[in-house]
Amino acid sequence: MAKIAGIVAIEYAAVHGLPLSKYSDPIEGARENLTVDEAREIAREDPALIYVDDSLTHCDCGAWSGESCAWAGPVTETVIVEYMPEQHRSSHQAAGNAGSYPHNGAERVRVHSDCAKFMVEHDADWCSIVEGA
């Protein structure tokens, strides 16, 4: 896959954690790194302006580690990791580790495969690779 446009692109990006982009139009120039909410707002006027390029992405392991990751590259080198944020762990344990994503407070992020291995090795009780392993 390379570019997907319109409402399908927004939903695809939401599921896979990919940034969205907007083609230029007579009112505004092209934009990159749109959030899903920003893309939906633009799509209300013209869905064809929105697209996602799923051939390149950024690693989002910083959501888990608290530090930005500099890696960017082909989406084929990434996986989806599900992890339980520190602030939810005690309540999750108190509930008997009940529930499943997203209702249990867990989050999913797209990360480079090396970052995913590091996450799982260092936080195995709270991280797992759920897609792309």
Q: Which percentage of the chain shows pLDDT scores above 70?
A: 97
| Residue 18 binned pLDDT confidence (cut-offs 50, 70, 90) | confident
By the 8 A CB rule, do 55 and 1 touch?
yes
Q: Is the pTM of this model over 0.75?
A: no
| Residue 23 binned pLDDT confidence (cut-offs 50, 70, 90) | very high
Which residues are bridge partners to 50 per DSSP?
22
Q: Domain extents for the chain?
A: 3-54, 58-131
Looking only at the bridges linking them, the beta strands covering 20-22 and 31-34 are antiparallel
